[in-house]
């Protein structure tokens, strides 16, 4: 019997397949990274990259998705705004989406924006003639406002009274912060005037003034708590407090800048809309009107100088088409309106002097060169340390003790040394010698490792290194993890540095739950109330969900979003601990590197001992209920929209139940919607569903379907 030999696949086809696989891998990697950054920025209020870096990643993802040429999933970062709401606050759906703004960093991008808008509204060079050019130019105007560095909120007024206040969330559903918003003096509880719409959504920015920010950080320092990095983070953290009394003490402010639902009869231009909002009782910013792009750019240069004189932080200017008709004509894309753009300021740069270069050890053992400098104010914050990132960057920039350097600080990113000021010759005779790269850990003396293909150098000491232990503990107690309020950086450092025979010394994260904090009595700054609050916070943290516990463990490559995906896939810590690399890789957000890291963590004897100690202390996350996704269920795999008032089940309970049977509840009706469930007084969503021919069912039918599976 002869075997017929198959023709080998042509080389060009193999190359094309490899290129496509690489493209898909790069796209998925970028989606995961951007999702993680969204979660850190919008939910944790703790971003780790600059706005410009985020924008570069987002644009690269957009280009790669176009190159792949397939339908882009609705949950891609290029299609959504912000991040999913956290489970701490009740969800609130915006009547109209609260979109984000596209960013411009270069003048050329502003010129492109201007060109696109003029063409879209018939103002392009080809569409104008000499006789009507002047009239067209008068009609085409930009309104320009400073871009506040704060937190976007949506305020719903019913018959003139504030009924709901919600954060942006994912642009369609946000977190209910109504009680906290009522503490902000700039936000009226009731709108002024006789011509108030029956229903109105007012959009604006909650922010913290420079004076309030400095006062808050003084209080934080006096109480031994962690300082806020900048006013934006302070405002976000203050607005999302569980106790409105805490928010009230933080002295937040608000500027209104737009409207959602109810805008139809208010004004025919953005400038008139601002006047209407002010008449309703809102604080609004001053604005300017321009017709030409060059005037915008000249004004931008002026504002870079003026921004320092403001009592609050701004990080750019916002350009909007002034005409509401033209805004509607231009429309929007998935994430942002086409008729507006944020022209961001470059990161502020200042000069100071390097006193010495030190080596800092992080929680994963990465050793980073850090410049200790003469204190200098950068972007409103006093800075005395700035990262040099890694050995390669240190050598490339050739930073030494005695150098005058340019430092910048963008967003919440650790301050960085940009470059040595002036030429090297100007520093001769005053410069220190080139920095030696350490051969062993500067803290514990363990040998240094460097993985193949990695720039980073690492301490091999693990938790035997006190520096790594401190950083792991700080991560474990942080807000996005176990959220132990009151256990700040200073307290952790003090407890790790306690003598070996001290009953307070922390050696592992498990020790947090074994320590008797009464032994702090009598120490400076530790009064009875503070100690009691600390004990309550430690006990409360035992109720954190599985995803937060998994994130708190500090497993390499497992961020907050990945921890949620793994938790929802396996539902219990025991199942995650038993999962092999192949099973872990079956989770959407988990690749080979993450899966290997998780598997290695749960194979390490020391980690298992710590987990056993935590369990003995009463800390073990509850298992999640397995999602039901029965193939024969009418709603399994369906994209479902809830609209109108539900009488027998709350909207949030309905959404939870829908997810349990494998459905995907969303906030808006589109061609991708499979079904609309309409309660009483359903409005525009019901009408749109009927226009698109989408099946519509009522609340009794929904309850019958849910009862069939959920009993």
Please list the residues that pair with 164 across neighbouring strands.
156
- Residue 448 to residue 471: CA distance in whole angstroms: 18
Q: Where do runs of H (alpha helix) occur along 541-604?
A: 546-552, 560-570, 573-578, 581-585, 592-601
Q: Would strands 340-344 and 102-104 be described as parallel, antiparallel, or unpaired?
A: parallel
Is the Cβ–Cβ distance between 553 and 577 less than 8 Å?
no
- For 674, list phi and psi in degrees, rounded to 5: -90, -30
Under a CB-based contact definition with an 8 Å cutoff, are residues 263 and 327 in contact? no
Neighbours of 611 (CB within 10 A): 19
Interstrand relation of 639-643 and 457-459 (parallel, antiparallel or unpaired): unpaired
**Residue 370: φ, ψ to 5°:** -130, 135
**DSSP reduced 3-state for 434:** coil
Which residues are within 8 A (CB) of 257 and not within 5 positions of it... i.e. 6 or more apart?
145, 203, 204, 205, 274, 284, 285, 318
Contact 488, 224 (CB under 8 A): yes
Sorted by sequence, the CB contacts under 8 Å of residue 594 that are 6+ apart come out as: 557, 558, 562, 584
Task: Give the number of other CB atoms < 10 A from CB of residue 226.
Answer: 16
Supply φ then ψ for residue 142, to 5 degrees. -105, 140
CA 205 to chain centre: 16
182 within 8 A of 244, measured Cβ to Cβ: yes
CA distance 619 to 21: 42
Rounded Cα distance between 477 and 463, Å, is: 16
Element (H, E) at 685: helix 684-692
User: How far are the Cα atoms of 145, 168, 270, 289, 309 from residue 299, in angstroms, in the given order?
Assistant: 11, 29, 19, 10, 16
Which residue among the candidates 60, 147, 664, 671 is catalytic per the annotation? 147
3-state secondary structure of 202: strand
Rounded to whole angstroms, the Cα distance separating 115 from 130 reads: 19
Give ∠ CA 598-603-609 in degrees, rounded to 5: 110
Residue length of the chain: 711
Helix ranges restricted to H, 250-353: 270-279, 293-306, 324-330
Count of other CB atoms within 10 angstroms of residue 495? 21
In whole angstroms, give the CA distance from residue 48 to residue 32.
15
Residues 115 and 631: their CA atoms lie apart, in Å, by 50
How many whole angstroms separate alpha carbon 155 and alpha carbon 651? 19
**Is 147 considered catalytic here?**
yes
| 3-class SS string, 134-180 | HHHHHHCCEEEEEEECCEEEEEEEECCEEEEEEECCCCCEEEECHHH
Distance, CA of 492 to CA of 467 (rounded, Å): 11
Pick the closest to residue 351 from 424, 316, 403, 401 (CA basis). Answer: 403
List active site positions: 147
């Amino acid at each position: 019997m002869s075997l017929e030999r198959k023709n080998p696949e042509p080389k060009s086809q193999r190359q094309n397949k490899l290129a496509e696989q690489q493209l898909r891998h790069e796209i998925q990697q970028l989606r995961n990274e951007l999702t993680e950054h969204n979660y850190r920025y919008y939910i944790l209020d703790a971003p780790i990259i600059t706005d410009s870096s985020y924008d570069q990643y987002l644009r690269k993802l957009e280009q790669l998705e176009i190159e792949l040429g397939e339908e882009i999933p609705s949950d891609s970062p290029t299609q959504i705004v912000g991040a999913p709401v956290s489970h701490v606050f009740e969800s609130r759906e915006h009547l109209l989406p609260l979109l984000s703004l596209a960013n411009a960093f270069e003048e050329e991008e502003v010129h492109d924006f201007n060109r696109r808008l003029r063409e879209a509204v018939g103002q392009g060079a080809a569409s104008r003639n000499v006789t009507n050019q002047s009239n067209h130019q008068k009609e085409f105007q930009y309104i320009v406002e400073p871009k506040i560095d704060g937190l976007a909120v949506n305020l719903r007024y019913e018959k003139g009274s504030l009924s709901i206040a919600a954060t942006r969330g994912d642009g369609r559903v946000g977190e209910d912060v109504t009680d906290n918003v009522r503490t902000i003096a700039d936000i009226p509880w009731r709108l002024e005037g006789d011509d108030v719409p029956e229903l109105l959504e007012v959009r604006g920015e909650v922010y913290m003034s420079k004076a309030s920010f400095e006062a808050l950080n003084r209080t934080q320092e006096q109480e031994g708590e962690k300082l806020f990095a900048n006013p934006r983070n302070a405002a976000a953290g203050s607005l999302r407090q569980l106790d409105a009394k805490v928010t009230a003490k933080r002295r937040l402010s608000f500027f209104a800048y737009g409207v959602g639902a109810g805008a139809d009869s208010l004004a025919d231009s953005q400038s008139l809309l601002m006047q209407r909002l002010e008449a309703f009782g809102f604080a609004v910013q001053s604005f300017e009107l321009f017709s030409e792009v060059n005037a915008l750019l000249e004004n931008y240069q002026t504002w870079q100088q003026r921004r320092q004189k403001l009592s609050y932080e701004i990080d750019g200017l916002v350009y909007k088409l002034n005409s509401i008709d033209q805004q509607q004509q231009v429309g929007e894309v998935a994430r942002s309106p086409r008729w507006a753009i944020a022209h961001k300021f470059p990161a502020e740069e200042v000069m100071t002097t390097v006193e010495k270069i030190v080596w800092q050890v992080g929680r994963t053992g990465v050793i980073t060169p850090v410049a200790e400098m003469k204190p200098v104010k950068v972007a409103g914050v006093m800075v005395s340390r700035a990262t040099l990132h890694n050995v390669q960057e240190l050598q490339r920039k050739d930073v030494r003790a005695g150098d005058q350097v340019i430092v910048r600080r963008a967003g919440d990113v650790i301050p960085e040394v940009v470059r040595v000021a002036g030429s090297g010759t100007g520093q001769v005779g005053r410069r220190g010698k080139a920095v030696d790269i350490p051969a062993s850990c500067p803290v514990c003396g363990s040998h240094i490792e460097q993985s193949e293909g990695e720039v980073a150098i690492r301490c091999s000491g693990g938790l035997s290194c006190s520096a790594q232990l401190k950083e792991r503990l700080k991560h474990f107690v942080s807000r996005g993890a176990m959220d132990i309020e009151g256990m700040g950086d200073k307290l952790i450092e003090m407890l790790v540095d306690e003598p070996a025979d001290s009953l307070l010394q922390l050696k592992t994260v498990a020790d947090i739950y074994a320590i008797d904090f009464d032994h702090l009595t009598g120490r400076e700054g530790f009064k009875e109330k503070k100690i009691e609050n600390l004990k309550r916070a430690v006990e409360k943290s035992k109720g954190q969900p599985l995803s937060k516990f998994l994130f708190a463990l500090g497993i390499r490559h497992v961020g907050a979003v990945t921890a949620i995906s793994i938790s929802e896939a396996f539902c219990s810590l025991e199942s995650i601990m038993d999962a092999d690399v192949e099973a872990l890789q079956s989770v959407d957000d988990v690749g080979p590197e993450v899966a290997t890291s998780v598997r290695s963590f749960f194979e390490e004897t020391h980690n298992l001992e710590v987990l056993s100690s935590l369990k003995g202390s009463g800390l073990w996350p509850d298992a999640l209920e397995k999602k039901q996704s029965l193939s024969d269920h009418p709603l399994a795999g369906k994209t479902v929209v809830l609209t109108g008032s539900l009488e027998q089940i709350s909207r949030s309970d309905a959404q939870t139940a829908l997810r349990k049977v494998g459905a995907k509840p969303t906030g808006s009706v589109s061609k991708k919607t499979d079904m609309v469930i309409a309660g009483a007084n359903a409005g525009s969503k019901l009408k749109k569903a009927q226009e698109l021919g989408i099946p519509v069912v009522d609340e009794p039918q929904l309850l019958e379907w849910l009862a069939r599976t959920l009993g």
